[in-house]
Structure 1
């Protein structure tokens, strides 16, 4: 966040004004209506036990509830991400909007956008979260927002059709209810997870399905209830893990851990490393056996795994080998160059496949917004389209132009 003068650090109005200016500066807020909503809603009143500086930080989430393991299962999303999604949604006065995943603050922003003639419904599966959202909304003066306790997988059919449906938890799939409850010219904004990579995608209706050209990097706590993801995870050693939702990918913890102890193969692509969010989406959909490799700071500091794995990096997995992306400084490739680290008996083959994809993307698709994302509901065809992923309720198909 931009620097704030010490004399105003305890003043929520000054912090909120600074937040709005910073959101504009970072192009998260691009419209006057969204700027006005952020300026109007007292964010700190939805985080009453949180320091003001944290509540108004652009890029930090505010914990709301943890599970028995101490992991966040509900948070107030970072203001930057909320702004991006609201701009994607394009909410107008008088609209009916359904929010799936309650917290209170985002619903209040939406109420500001729809105005007195619009209607906002927010639904959550957790009684504690719904009760907390209701209390915060009432205290902040947004009593007209409707709160519902239910599994968001089914939407809220009693209020349909909705002009906009906004999902504020990472969704592995798009259930039929969300499409069925969407108005004919409506828009669904959802953080959709595809092979471990999550993007906030703004979908429009396209026949019986959905289509989008608007997708932005997003991180959310996962959906609970019927829509929960069914990912497979393997802990290779303390601080190193791989995960995938692709059933074809072999996850042999012992063999992959042994591979990490073998000498590394490091190869460079000769192509620029930039637009990593675009590149990661392309890799996730095109690697033949994709997973995500995660490593802790201690492991990275020890030199076993590259820093690219700190937040998760697309990996190519075989029964006994692994390859993943890295980078180095190189003025000849606009500052940084993409490369591949591989371990294990099949490291040469995995590195070759990975390098071909890095070069193909750099040559043909290295720009923002090159992908078209479709959701095709219904039973899977006998042959899946290229660059598509099978879900429970349909297929996610991505093409690059």
Structure 2
């Protein structure tokens, strides 16, 4: 490629790299990605940055560390479009308008006979999306300033619904807007992790056929996940769901008053080999799973044994004790030099560490396996088989 590549060259290079490294694209999604100009939705952004596989913030959040709105990572956008499986002529609802780029991709996928409605609660975001879509020839996309939790019943029922914001619960209002047999793809959060889950509606049940790790700006209006500091400097935090009993003071005392222990499993991984499946596997049977966040300052000061990924590692929390995932380098296996294990604190440290080791070993026996997730309205009386996580508006069931 020349030293001053064109937008088209950079766009095609990005898609080529996706195909080689991260995403298995369908022909229609590949065509849409090569057709829609991402840089047109990111005015003022350097052309090379517009075609880097990274998120771009379009509106900062003055009240927190996460942006209010951003252009999502292109490879994640592509992965979710493959999950959505848009057919020509489909009626689509997008929750979270972002820059308008994703809506343009959806318009390409559904074609001239289809329709796309994109909603967002933020007036600046909807104005940006509407302006960019008009400039790029996608006037047929409907953009509405609206609380995403309400949806857009005026254009329902939808064949496909795509959430481009993180959800902690499936809103009850969405059920009447998704056609039976229709497909919903959303970044769904439970027990501290977020997965892009592809679900098909079958009567009063949503049934998954795939999920992948991702991260998204959370939707405004859902606050079922809590965060608590475990030390005075607020450099060690636990994130937990509202249905989980977490004794913050007792955990803080255990971290402060006693050294931690380490226990290693038999499972090893290579430098680029993912192990997030440990977290997923644990949530399918253990309601003690939360997320541990350790800031760089805490790591540098050796305030806690180093977690596998300091900003987000699975942790089992039980009363005054906790155990979290660690990775330790060994020289015994050149192909897989890293060994997974558990670090633990508190009176139940040894037992909790062994429980986490059990989850690691279960994952190790089937590393690529993912559970079947079914979701029903919270008030349903239908019998279910599997591990149930109850939320205010839905009931999740995980089964391996």
TM over 0.5: yes
Equivalences for 1:76-225 in 2 at 5 Å?
Answer: 76-103=71-98, 104-225=100-221
> How much has 1:301 moved relative to structure 2?
3.5
Equivalences for 1:2-401 in 2 at 5 Å?
Answer: 5=1, 7-9=3-5, 11-58=6-53, 60-69=54-63, 71=65, 72-103=67-98, 104-225=100-221, 228-237=222-231, 238=233, 239-253=235-249, 255-256=251-252, 258-260=254-256, 262-273=258-269, 275-303=274-302, 304-330=304-330, 331=332, 334-363=336-365, 366-379=366-379, 386-400=386-400
CA contact (8 A) 2:239 2:292 kept: yes
> How much has 1:102 moved relative to structure 2?
0.4
Deviates more, 1:207-216 or 1:257-266: 257-266
- Which structure: greater helix fraction? 1
For residues 47-103 of structure 1, the C-alpha deviation after alignment (integer angstroms, 9 at most, x for no partner) is 112222221111x11101122235311111010100000000111211111101002
C-alpha spacing 1:69/1:152, structure 2 compared with 1 (3 Å): closer
State the TM-score, normalized to the length of structure 1.
0.91
For residues 135-183 of structure 1, the C-alpha deviation after alignment (integer angstroms, 9 at most, x for no partner) is 1111111111100111111211111111100001110111222222112
> How much has 1:380 moved relative to structure 2?
6.8
CA contact (8 A) 1:65 1:74 kept: yes
Number of matched residues? 390
> How much has 1:357 moved relative to structure 2?
2.1
Partner of 1:276: helix, strand, or coil?
Answer: coil
State the TM-score, normalized to the length of structure 2.
0.91
C-alpha spacing 1:185/1:24, structure 2 compared with 1 (3 Å): same
Partner of 2:276: helix, strand, or coil?
Answer: helix
Unaligned 5+ runs, structure 2: none
CA contact (8 A) 1:292 1:312 kept: yes
